[in-house]
Amino acid sequence: MIVVTGAAGFIASCLVTRLNAANFNDIVVVDNFTVERKLANLKGKRLREYVDRNDFFEWLDKNHEQVEFIFHLGARTDTTEKSREILDLLNLEYSKKVWHACCQYQLPLVYASSAATYGSGTLGYADEDALLPLLRPLNPYGESKNDFDNWAVAQEEKPFFWAGLKFFNVYGPNEYHKGRMASVIFHAYEQIRRTGSMELFRSHNPEYADGEQKRDFVYVKDVCEVCYFLMHHRKNSGIYNLGSGEARTFLDLALNTFAALNQTADIRFKDTPEDIRDTYQYFTQAEMQKLRSIGYDRPFTRLEDGIQDYVQNYLVSGAYL
């Protein structure tokens, strides 16, 4: 039995599909299932049981002997969330309870961290423990993720295998419900379909031209492959970056979205919203040597190929993974 928290969300629902494809069908999904717009992400998947996130620990106390692995991907992922109370409850305290349960019942754990922990990137993007206390995230969401990473590394009692994954800019199917927090590729597709043009944020940093801001975009299918690898690997515990390892510009992203739609590019610029302007990241690029060093050798999907697959095989038809 495999437990996936946040299972109705973007990345976790894609992971369930990957597990089903490998004939893992004894899957317990944990989430807040009252959010109806997310439920389509689980439609048609082979599952054992739905467990409300508030009932999960009571359920685990009764069923832990049957559980083989826990993927803890549930979190409040809104980077504009200002309530530390909500973020501490869902991203920090809930994760601590998952950790303690995995220690108590000797269960291996993979949990979701975030590249938001790196803040402005002035200290680089190395996934080394020594860097963790020095990081200064730019928003409360990133702080909550960094707080848990620091807490986990400092614990004397740890699960026999655990891995925290610092997701960079993940894109791909099953993010229809995410609204403003959906990937730029999703928003590019929607804008182009609606207006025939695409708006990108203007640069407010003199070191970057408009559209030349760079991010490490990683396809959700690659994220699932790493999770699947770690489920079988079960050694070399620690915190790992999970990006493509290659920063690409937003212009690259926009031009490839137009190309996937066989449309002539029409790109315009608008000011970055003031509520995120001061905390906007202009460059992210995952250092991936640590994950490679433990034996993960699959290539990561090129941005061109990922956008083409996402647009043509999912967004155009509204399909789910």
Mean pLDDT across the stretch 182-187?
96
Q: How confident is the model at residue 81 (pLDDT cuts 50, 70, 90)?
A: low
Q: What is the pLDDT of residue 227?
A: 98
Instruction: Count the neighbouring beta carbons within 10 Å of the beta carbon of residue 302.
Output: 14
Query: What's the residue count for the chain?
Result: 321
Q: How far, CA to CA in Å, does 287 sit from each of 14, 122, 124, 160, 211?
A: 24, 14, 9, 25, 23
DSSP, residue by residue, 149-164: HHHHHH-SS--SSEEE
Tokens of 11: 């990345």
As a whole number, the mean pLDDT across the chain is: 95
257 located within any domain: no
191 located within any domain: no
264 located within any domain: no
Percent of the chain whose predicted confidence (pLDDT) is above 90: 89
Instruction: Count the neighbouring beta carbons within 10 Å of the beta carbon of residue 296.
Output: 16
Q: Which residues contact 228 (CB under 8 A, 6 or more apart)?
A: 15, 18, 19, 22
CA 318 to chain centre: 21
Q: How far, CA to CA in Å, does 315 sit from each of 174, 192, 194, 255, 257?
A: 10, 12, 13, 16, 11
What letter would DSSP give residue 120?
A: T
Q: How confident is the model at residue 171 (pLDDT cuts 50, 70, 90)?
A: very high
The residues that are catalytic are 141, 178
Question: Are the C-beta atoms of residues 192 and 259 closer than 8 Å to each other?
Answer: no
85 located within any domain: yes
Strand spans (E) along the chain: 2-5, 27-31, 49-52, 69-72, 109-114, 162-167, 169-171, 198-201, 214-219, 238-242, 247-249, 267-270
251 located within any domain: no
**What residues are paired with 3 via a beta bridge?**
28, 70
| Number of compact structural domains in the chain | 1
315 located within any domain: no
- Domain with 138, as residue range(s), is 2-171+219-245+285-300
Q: Cα-Cα-Cα-Cα dihedral of 219, 220, 225, 230, to 10°?
A: 120
Give the integer Cα–Cα distance in Å for 20 and 273: 40
Identify the CATH number of the domain in which residue 237 sits. Answer: 3.40.50.720
Mean pLDDT across the stretch 147-172?
97
Q: How confident is the model at residue 75 (pLDDT cuts 50, 70, 90)?
A: confident
32 located within any domain: yes
Mean pLDDT across the stretch 117-125?
95
Q: How far, CA to CA in Å, does 95 sit from each of 7, 98, 113, 151, 312?
A: 15, 5, 11, 10, 36
Give the integer Cα–Cα distance in Å for 260 and 189: 9
Q: Read off the pTM.
A: 0.95
77 located within any domain: yes
